Structure 1
């Protein structure tokens, strides 16, 4: 966007480091979080994750489209091979669900759709119809679980029953899912997917923003703003700005609110802002992964949208 070569050089250096440091226990490229974490099971650090790996893959895909260097496309292909060969799958009458990591069989919709989106995107580019079929089967699994109001629960219905959990819907996972569905639709052009996106986005835009465009964490919930929700609000609506009239208004409002309320005087973004006993309180921790990286991406996407709009008006 800026045409500054030093940014590209930094990106290529990061890409090289990632290529040199995957999880080497697997034949194909994959990565996980560099820390232990506890879900329904204990997941050791570096356990390959579909979410982590697909987001890294998105970086390689962007670099390939910018540089046309084969090494980055090869990385994307290797990632897809990891998805189809090493992630577990749950197969149902409605489709299939890719696991969150290699050591679980969780059915988590955002993770499933991250994998599906990457498979159909790379599969479409290299004409791998099997990857595209798997991607659409995974998409159908998640769409079959869409709630009447358009939303998706974090876990599948089977897993909610298995682990005795209620439906959980939050801002940033909803944004992830809407974006992945939109990308899948741009390739497949399936009417059923577009209808699902319309319903989901209408729910999202109606329920996840306060009157001043603060991106609240839970639908029509308490005034609790996580910086990840701020970032995803900007990214998701930047992707959808040409599809939905309210997207531009949300971007403008949320960008202004986030900069005014979540950015500190030294430039970094705080973690959380919330109301308690009618007082605004904050948690001012400058998390790199959760806060700063995602907000840099969000602001870049916002700038890109409005830069393109200015160019179109000239």
Structure 2
């Protein structure tokens, strides 16, 4: 039987997807784009007295994160806007506007972009953003709320680049250029063999592969838009590192060195790396990196999804099946555009709607576990990412 979510040919139907996008965006607007986050446990005034070192912070943060019920109302954790999530919503609206011409999407996107501009991290000299909660990254580093990171800053800057590309608004390109300067001047650099890599923040020396790919991609794209070859050359250097740490299967570990990585070949971080390479190659073509991208994409399709589009958490671990993995994969595969990728994107969309979507109010669940599932309506992790993915479908498919 033909799915109601697809066209008669079996492809994704952008008109149907737009209806889901509108419902999901309406839910987010009804909450003023504010919500809980999987990692916001340290925002609890109840737990604050106990979170005094890296170990107790991890216990508090992951205790809230992994508890089978949502403890946040009891712990006094308020719903808030998250800069990265807000950027995802803005990008989804911009994608829908570019395809449909509906000015209401543009108005909403520009309102969110203005909020992002007004809520830059005051701890940075250039344009940068952080999370709205204290965050302990294993025992590697502690990042206080609103202190900037490369990943959060890149996603926000990408939204401003998107606005520039669609509207020609020079101010948006200037904002993104400020983030490129933040990456060039303020993010710590770590020597890994012959490569000068990026750390995760201005305050640590933790080398995360997807963060390097994201940073290189933004530098390449902003360098292309501003004719700044220094950005492009630095992007080349960092992408050479990303290429070097790809393994023989075409996969990437989360961090370098790989034997200290807390994840093996996980789903959505693999998607981050591949999308970053894709965007880099659009402005700085390279045959060797293109071959690495194709090999990585083949691994992604073959090893990180089960039959019917269900996302594996890691290549050797099926569960939990996470909404973030579904969303990033849809975006990566639709941007890739190959027949194999588009077919899998359609399966993943179908699986996500059937397993993670609440039609009563338009919100998405976080994940399905082997035994327990998490239906907490996280605004960034669930809603922002799925809107981001659905906007990509609406924008890029006919």
TM-score normalized with structure 1 length: 0.91
CA distance in 2 between counterparts of 1:26 and 1:166 reads 28
Report if aligned partners of 2:128, 2:182 keep a CA contact under 8 Å in 1.
yes
Q: Quote the Cα distance in structure 1 between the aligned partners of 2:262 and 2:160.
A: 37
1:250 aligned to which of 323, 333, 344: 344
Deviations 1:26-57 (A, max 9, x none): 22110101100111222111111110001000
The alignment status of 1:236 with 2:332, answered yes or no, reads yes
**Matching residue of 2:367:** 272
Q: Deviations over 1:51-104 (max 9, x none)?
A: 000100011001111221111011011111111110011234543211111111
- Structure with larger RCO (C-alpha < 8 A, sep 6+): 2
Aligned: 1:182 with 2:278: yes
Distance in 2, matches of 1:165 and 1:6, equals: 44
Distance 2:262 2:101 in 1: 48
Q: Would you say how many aligned residue pairs link Structure 1 and Structure 2?
A: 297
Q: CA deviation at 1:269?
A: 0.7
Unaligned runs of 5+ in 1: 308-314
> 1:303 Cα shift?
2.3
Given the alignment of the two structures, is residue 8 of structure 1 paired with residue 106 of structure 2, yes or no? yes
Partner of 1:154: 254
C-alpha distance in 1 between matches for 2:238 and 2:284: 13
Residue in 1 that maps onto 2:10: none
Q: Distance in 2 between matches of 1:302 and 1:220?
A: 29
Q: Distance in 1 between matches of 2:340 and 2:157?
A: 30
Report the 3-state secondary structure (helix = DSSP H, G, I; strand = E; otherwise coil) of the residue aligned with 2:309.
coil
RMSD: 1.4
Q: Which residue number corresponds to residue 171 of structure 1?
A: 267
- Work out the CA distance in 2 between the residues paired with 1:211 and 1:70: 45
Q: What is the distance in 1 between the residues matched to 2:339 and 2:194? A: 32
Pick aligned residue for 2:305 from 209, 215, 227: 209
Higher deviation after alignment, 92-101 or 258-267: 92-101
Q: Distance in 2 between matches of 1:2 and 1:94?
A: 47
Distance 2:126 2:120 in 1: 9
CA contact (8 A) 1:34 1:46 kept: yes
- Say which SS state the counterpart of residue 219 (structure 1) adopts: coil
Alpha-carbon distance in 2 for matches of 1:182, 1:70:
24
1:179-212 deviations in Å (ceiling 9; x for gaps): 0011111222111110110111111100111111
Aligned to 1:293: 384
Residue 249 of structure 1 and its aligned partner are, at CA, apart by 0.9
Q: Quick one: distance in 2 between partners of 1:92 and 1:52?
A: 23
Q: 154, 163, 166: which is aligned to 1:54?
A: 154
Say if 1:251 and 1:302, in contact at 8 Å, map to a contact too.
no
Runs ≥4 in structure 1, deviation > 4 angstroms? 164-167
Residue 94 of structure 1 contacts residue 144 of structure 1 at CA under 8 Å; is this kept in 2?
Answer: no
- Asked whether the 8 Å contact 1:31–1:52 carries over to 2, the reply is yes
